[in-house]
């Protein structure tokens, strides 16, 4: 069935992006990101069917990203609120559970594009809360509190304790307390929990509450229950980004603000490609699964003969594992891609080892499923780069053992 909106729409659908297989939502498959950009002048009418790619039909999850930056200086007009309802209605009707995110910007310029006053953000939250309230059953989680760069992850002028609690409370109130809300870092959760936006979380849940970053928790899980019991232990997780965790003398080091071990955002190439954090040349912009996929797509565009075309049909369907598959089958282009990729990876890995000299460096995340095809070149290239290469003992690089469960196990084992 095709439905065409009769009037001009308030939002225009951007190209649907695929999160990769490396993201794996256990039991849920992976998901696509549907982006809708505000068009204050009225976008073109869109046929709904066009929103769902054939390959997305089986998915249970959809990340629906709605950009509201164009309304930063005014209230959100009635027709835009109506259109938001229609968009959610569409995903509901197609049986999707939604991760819903409203942001003023998705290009790393959120600090410039967010409203000037917190009261304007609050007004938008009240308006949007009202518009999405009927769909709460279909919304798995509301991600973020609209503001800042890439959601509130990389700074905003509204992340002080008072304004953050105020914003979270506004969002809870406007959805009548029915939304599950996720902010991006443990530091922010601590702010909120201490600041009474979620008073008595432990009592309400009847469970002890601990805060931890996902990759930190995964490192803790691997340390306590997986591959390494050495008291200096570093984990590096390679997925959409690159995260990690550091255990020193048997204790998880999470920094002064719960945000330690963001290995993905150390620069490995000055003036390199832009990163989601707003800087350039970051480790994860070259060595994450996302980066490998980008490199493979570029290669496909330049090379009609690579086996990648046979393996996945079109650049949009390429995954990190496809490159490993191609290399195993002897494809020259895939081997060259992996050679470059593992070199980038070794540059960052050597940096991490130079900093911490851990007894064990454990590699996890989706890309680590490639096993020895990844680890053998990584060990060899890292060994040539570390400062301490002639030492009697050096860091052992091993594969993670707990796969997707590392984070859950680690979180359950976190200490107060
Ligand atoms: Zn970065």
What's phi and psi for 36, nearest 5 deg?
-125, 125
Contact partners, residue 143, CB within 8 Å, separation at least 6: 99, 100, 101, 151, 182
Mean pLDDT, the chain, as a whole number? 84
What spacing in Å lies between the alpha carbon of 268 and ligand 1's midpoint? Answer: 10
What spacing in Å lies between the alpha carbon of 244 and ligand 1's midpoint? Answer: 14
- For residue 252, the cross-strand partners are 247
Contact by Cβ (8 Å): 102, 66: yes
The DSSP-derived string for 77-125 is PHHHHHHHHHHHHHHHHTT-EEEEEEES-SSS-HHHHS-SSHHHHHHHH
What spacing in Å lies between the alpha carbon of 149 and ligand 1's midpoint? Answer: 12
- For residue 396, the cross-strand partners are 360
Contact by Cβ (8 Å): 221, 406: yes
What spacing in Å lies between the alpha carbon of 274 and ligand 1's midpoint? Answer: 8
Helix orientation angle between 332-356 and 372-383, rounded to the nearest 10 degrees:
60
What spacing in Å lies between the alpha carbon of 281 and ligand 1's midpoint? Answer: 7
What spacing in Å lies between the alpha carbon of 266 and ligand 1's midpoint? Answer: 7
What mean pLDDT comes out for the span 132-136?
93
Contact by Cβ (8 Å): 142, 64: no
What mean pLDDT comes out for the span 58-84?
88
User: Is the domain covering 216-412 a CATH 3.30.420.40 domain?
Assistant: yes
In this prediction, residue 18 carries a pLDDT of 61
What mean pLDDT comes out for the span 149-164?
71
pLDDT higher than threshold 70 for residue 219:
yes
What spacing in Å lies between the alpha carbon of 259 and ligand 1's midpoint? Answer: 14
In this prediction, residue 196 carries a pLDDT of 42
What spacing in Å lies between the alpha carbon of 151 and ligand 1's midpoint? Answer: 15
What spacing in Å lies between the alpha carbon of 404 and ligand 1's midpoint? Answer: 24
The DSSP H or E segment spanning 37 is: strand 32-38
Tokens representing 124 are 């938008």
pLDDT higher than threshold 90 for residue 43:
no
Share of the chain above pLDDT 90, in %: 44
What spacing in Å lies between the alpha carbon of 277 and ligand 1's midpoint? Answer: 4
Tokens representing 103 are 């942001």
What spacing in Å lies between the alpha carbon of 345 and ligand 1's midpoint? Answer: 15
What mean pLDDT comes out for the span 154-167?
76
What spacing in Å lies between the alpha carbon of 224 and ligand 1's midpoint? Answer: 29
What spacing in Å lies between the alpha carbon of 104 and ligand 1's midpoint? Answer: 20
What spacing in Å lies between the alpha carbon of 207 and ligand 1's midpoint? Answer: 35
Least reliable range by pLDDT among 3-12, 273-282, 354-363, 372-381: 3-12
Q: In this predicted model, what pLDDT tens digit does every residue of 387-404 receive, in sequence order?
A: 988 888 999 999 999 987
What spacing in Å lies between the alpha carbon of 231 and ligand 1's midpoint? Answer: 29
Q: In this predicted model, what pLDDT tens digit does every residue of 170-205 receive, in sequence order?
A: 888 888 877 777 776 656 666 665 544 455 566 655
In this prediction, residue 181 carries a pLDDT of 76
Q: In this predicted model, what pLDDT tens digit does every residue of 290-334 receive, in sequence order?
A: 999 999 999 999 999 999 999 988 888 888 999 999 999 999 999
In this prediction, residue 1 carries a pLDDT of 40
The DSSP H or E segment spanning 194 is: helix 186-194
What spacing in Å lies between the alpha carbon of 243 and ligand 1's midpoint? Answer: 11
In this prediction, residue 315 carries a pLDDT of 87
Least reliable range by pLDDT among 29-33, 75-79, 91-95: 29-33
Total count of residues recorded for the chain: 416
Q: In this predicted model, what pLDDT tens digit does every residue of 250-275 receive, in sequence order?
A: 999 988 877 799 999 999 999 999 88
- Strand ranges for 203-350 from DSSP E: 233-238, 242-248, 251-252
What mean pLDDT comes out for the span 123-144?
91
The DSSP H or E segment spanning 67 is: strand 61-67
Taking the alpha carbons of 128, 134, 139, 141 in that order, is the dihedral positive or negative?
positive
Q: In this predicted model, what pLDDT tens digit does every residue of 347-367 receive, in sequence order?
A: 999 999 999 999 999 999 989
Share of the chain above pLDDT 70, in %: 82
pTM: 0.68
What spacing in Å lies between the alpha carbon of 96 and ligand 1's midpoint? Answer: 31
What spacing in Å lies between the alpha carbon of 56 and ligand 1's midpoint? Answer: 29
Instruction: Give the residue among 119, 110, 112 at the shortest CA–CA distance from 147.
Output: 110
What spacing in Å lies between the alpha carbon of 282 and ligand 1's midpoint? Answer: 5
What spacing in Å lies between the alpha carbon of 271 and ligand 1's midpoint? Answer: 12
pLDDT higher than threshold 90 for residue 281:
yes
What's phi and psi for 137, nearest 5 deg?
-60, -30
What spacing in Å lies between the alpha carbon of 278 and ligand 1's midpoint? Answer: 6
Q: In this predicted model, what pLDDT tens digit does every residue of 223-247 receive, in sequence order?
A: 999 876 788 999 999 988 899 999 9
What spacing in Å lies between the alpha carbon of 155 and ligand 1's midpoint? Answer: 13
Confidence of residue 214 (pLDDT cuts 50, 70, 90): confident
pLDDT higher than threshold 50 for residue 26:
no
In this prediction, residue 59 carries a pLDDT of 74
pLDDT higher than threshold 60 for residue 3:
no
Tokens representing 30 are 């992976």
User: Where do the domains of the chain lie?
Assistant: 2-211, 216-412
């Amino acid at each position: 069935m095709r439905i065409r909106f009769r009037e001009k729409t308030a939002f225009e659908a951007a190209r649907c992006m695929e999160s990769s297989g490396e993201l794996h939502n256990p039991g849920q498959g992976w998901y696509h990101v549907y982006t809708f950009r505000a068009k204050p002048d009225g976008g073109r009418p869109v046929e709904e069917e066009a929103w769902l790619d054939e390959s997305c039909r089986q998915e249970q999850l959809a990340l629906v990203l709605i950009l509201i930056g164009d309304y930063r200086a005014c209230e959100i007009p009635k027709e835009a609120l109506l259109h938001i309802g229609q968009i959610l209605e569409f995903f509901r009707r197609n049986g999707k559970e939604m991760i819903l995110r409203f942001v003023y910007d998705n290009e790393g310029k959120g600090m410039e594009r967010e409203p000037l006053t917190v009261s304007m953000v609050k007004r938008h939250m009240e308006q949007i809360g009202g518009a999405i309230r009927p769909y709460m059953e279909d919304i798995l989680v509301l991600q973020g509190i609209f503001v800042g760069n890439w959601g509130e992850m990389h700074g905003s002028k509204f992340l002080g304790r008072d304004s953050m609690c105020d914003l979270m409370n506004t969002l809870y109130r406007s959805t009548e307390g029915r939304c599950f809300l996720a902010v991006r870092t443990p530091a922010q959760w601590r702010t909120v929990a201490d600041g009474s936006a979620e008073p008595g979380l432990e009592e309400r849940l009847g469970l002890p509450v601990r805060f931890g970053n996902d990759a930190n928790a995964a490192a803790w899980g691997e340390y306590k229950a997986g591959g390494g019991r050495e008291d200096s232990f570093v984990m590096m997780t390679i997925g959409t980004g690159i995260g990690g965790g550091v255990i020193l003398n048997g204790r998880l080091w999470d920094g002064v603000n719960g945000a330690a071990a963001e290995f993905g955002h150390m620069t490995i190439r000055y003036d390199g490609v832009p990163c989601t954090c707003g800087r350039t040349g970051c480790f994860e912009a070259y060595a994450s699964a996302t980066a490998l996929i980008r490199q493979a797509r570029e290669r496909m565009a330049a090379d009609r003969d690579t086996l990648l075309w046979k393996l996945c049909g079109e650049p949009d369907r390429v995954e990190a594992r496809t490159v490993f598959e191609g290399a195993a089958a002897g494809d020259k282009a895939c081997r060259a891609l992996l050679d470059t990729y593992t070199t980038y990876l070794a540059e960052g890995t050597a940096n991490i080892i130079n900093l911490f000299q851990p007894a064990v460096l454990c590699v996890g995340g989706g890309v680590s499923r490639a096993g020895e095809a990844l680890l053998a070149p990584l060990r060899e290239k890292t060994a040539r780069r570390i400062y301490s290469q002639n030492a009697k003992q050096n860091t052992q690089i091993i594969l993670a053992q707990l796969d997707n469960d590392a984070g859950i196990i680690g979180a359950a084992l976190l200490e107060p």
